[in-house]
Amino acid sequence: MSNIQQNTACSGENSAGQLEVAIIGAGFAGMYMLYCMRKLGLSARIYEAGSGVGGTWYWNRYPGARCDVESIQYSYQFSEELQQEWEWTEKYSPQPDILRYANHVADRFDLRRDIQCNTRVMSAVFNEDSHRWDIQTETGDRISAAFCVMATGCLSSSNTPAFKGIRDYKGNIYHTGKWPHDEVSFNDMTVGVIGTGSSAIQAIPVFASQADHLFVFQRTPNYTVPAHNAALDPEYVRDIKSDYAGLRARAKTKPSGYDLPIPPLSAVETSPEDRFQTFESKWQNGGVGFMAAFNDLLVDAAANETAAEFVRKKIRETVDDPKIAKLLSPDNVIGCKRLCVDTNYWETFNLPNVTLVDVSRTPIEKISQNGLCTNGQEYPLDAIVFATGFDAMTGALLNIDIRGRGGQTLQTKWEGGPKTYLGLAMADFPNLFTITGPGSPSVLTNMLPSIEQHVEWITDCISHMHANGLECIEANREAENEWVEHVNQVADLSLRSTCSSWYIGANIEGKARVFMPYIGGFPKYVEKCNNVVANDYEGFILN
């Protein structure tokens, strides 16, 4: 690990003015974008709402937070030196380690002098006279930039359901996605958690170990598989580092952008005994690789049910009280909502200080002064944790007043669901790029390689424009419509589009129901992006 001193703040001083490239967000996407723009010799600057870098890993600092993609792969690959010097110590790194890595990158590549923190961007308006983006921040900066790159993240706009009475509550309310920087202790407290998604499933065992009593308010049970996290064997790390490029190249051939073996076998064509052994071995190995036990789990309902039933059996075997086990058992498609990965989640419900409260039929009525009310009963609580997720993929973008040609707002353009060309650009919004935007594989893949691929595509594009004296690039409407249609068509081929998940916006009231990420897989998507370039930026208008 480098001994460069870690500076967790940003040092870019407030400066308004003319820029070549304005970047919104200092997560992994924004930081790499800045690095690449500097390499092109362009003036670029990041505007970041938080007080530090790291994006998701800056905000989601709830106890138990860790990445459920192996850190060896959930990391940048653009710098061989960085890959070699950084030491991941656990298979699935906890949030503080990933945040330390983000800070290391900011220092290692001297990025901070162009990162302006505590600066929320409020609006970005395309100026049709100057052909530039006029950007305004909450702190009063006015920036004019030739290009505007939204590196705002897919899961960064937290969702807090508007329960009645929230304001009257006397205790503290927390959201997993906006966890305080100061340590939060639940010792000797009665705590309530709303939600049982990935965040809650990681946090609940930790809260249970602290709280006097923990109430878990569950609307829909979720499938989770054990992480079996462990310290990384230094010999294994040495092996990876001796051919990191090989690992990265293999990963890029996989639909998930993650080096997981693709199984040649179908679950329905495998005998029950062999199927059980395969599931068991994946289970023992841990992590999201469970869904890679067979090749038909996400396309064939009968195959999917074999995996779902395997997990339900594990729940029945683990949870002592059969009634609680039943309540914790999902009955829908496994992997339709994102599979969760846990450490001792089911076991937690055997503890005497943990109570599961089913709010599926009797929704949470209100938050009272003293706690939470459901089914005519008040649960007195000293603190409430909202683990209620995010307005995914579109929320962070729509929170900014983005206006393209003719003053058209993004809100209007996306009324019926997000419309983009390749999740990268949009008709009527020239010189505006989105990193891992809706319509790209993003959240269905290992985010880091997906981010790098987008950043490099945008960098090549800007470089091409400079080399050819071009001022504006904009998706053409026909190409955008065709891409949106294609994204919807491939989504329909997968069981993933069949349930009420955040992938289709179902968790946000009033949000259009459209399967947002591109499910065709990383290699197919990269091939499409490369072909677009090879065919002279097919589907784009350049001038």
Measured from the Cβ of residue 242, the count of other Cβ atoms closer than 10 Å reads 9
Q: Which of 507, 515, 529, 532 binds ligand NAP (CB under 6 A)?
A: 507
Q: Does 388 bind ligand NAP (CB under 6 A)?
A: yes
Q: Does 431 bind ligand NAP (CB under 6 A)?
A: no
Distance (Å, rounded) from C-alpha 350 to C-alpha 338?
Answer: 25
Residue closer to ligand NAP (CB basis): 202 or 445: 202
Q: Does 364 bind ligand NAP (CB under 6 A)?
A: yes
CA of 391: how far to CAs of 151, 210, 397, 398, 520, in Å?
16, 29, 10, 10, 23
Min dist. Cβ of residue 281 to ligand NAP (A): 22
Task: Choose the stretch contacting ligand NAP; rule: CB under 6 A; options: 199-207, 304-312, 408-416, 418-426.
Answer: 199-207
Q: Tell me which amino acid residue 96 is.
A: P
CA of 458: how far to CAs of 33, 418, 535, in Å?
9, 20, 16
Token readout for 34 is: 């800045």
> What is the torsional sign of CA 394, 398, 400, 406?
positive
Token readout for 343 is: 């450490």
Tell me if 189 sits within 8 A of 172, measured CB to CB: no
Q: Does 516 bind ligand NAP (CB under 6 A)?
A: no
> What is the Cβ-side half-sphere exposure of residue 63, based on CA atoms within 13 angstroms?
17
Min dist. Cβ of residue 271 to ligand NAP (A): 33
* Contacting ligand NAP within 52-71 (CB under 6 A): 66-68
Task: Choose the stretch contacting ligand NAP; rule: CB under 6 A; options: 116-124, 190-198, 373-381, 446-454.
Answer: 190-198
Q: Does 200 bind ligand NAP (CB under 6 A)?
A: yes
Q: Does 523 bind ligand NAP (CB under 6 A)?
A: no
Q: Tell me which amino acid residue 420 is.
A: T
Task: Choose the stretch contacting ligand NAP; rule: CB under 6 A; options: 5-13, 256-264, 307-315, 382-390.
Answer: 382-390
Min dist. Cβ of residue 504 to ligand NAP (A): 12
Tell me if 59 sits within 8 A of 187, measured CB to CB: no
Min dist. Cβ of residue 69 to ligand NAP (A): 6
Tell me if 160 sits within 8 A of 392, measured CB to CB: no
3-state DSSP call for residue 278? helix
Q: Does 256 bind ligand NAP (CB under 6 A)?
A: no
Min dist. Cβ of residue 288 to ligand NAP (A): 9
Non-local CB neighbours of 97 within 8 Å, separated by 6+ positions: 71, 88, 89, 90
* Contacting ligand NAP within 208-227 (CB under 6 A): 219-220
Read off the DSSP letter of residue 72.
Answer: T
Q: Which of 106, 387, 427, 484 binds ligand NAP (CB under 6 A)?
A: 387
Supply the DSSP string of 176-206, one letter for each residue. GGG--SS----BT-EEEEE--SHHHHHHHHH
H or E stretch covering 386: strand 383-386
Min dist. Cβ of residue 464 to ligand NAP (A): 33
The side-by-side arrangement of strands in the sheet containing 354-358 is: 172-175, 383-386, 190-194, 213-218, 354-358
Task: Choose the stretch contacting ligand NAP; rule: CB under 6 A; options: 141-149, 385-393, 464-472, 478-486.
Answer: 385-393
Q: Which of 119, 156, 190, 198 binds ligand NAP (CB under 6 A)?
A: 198
Q: Does 389 bind ligand NAP (CB under 6 A)?
A: yes
Q: Does 518 bind ligand NAP (CB under 6 A)?
A: no
Min dist. Cβ of residue 396 to ligand NAP (A): 13
Min dist. Cβ of residue 339 to ligand NAP (A): 9
Tell me if 198 sits within 8 A of 68, measured CB to CB: yes
Task: Choose the stretch contacting ligand NAP; rule: CB under 6 A; options: 254-262, 386-394, 406-414, 518-526.
Answer: 386-394
Interface contacts to ligand NAP, rule CB under 6 A:
66-68, 155, 161, 176, 194-200, 202, 219-220, 338, 341, 359, 364, 387-390, 443, 502, 507
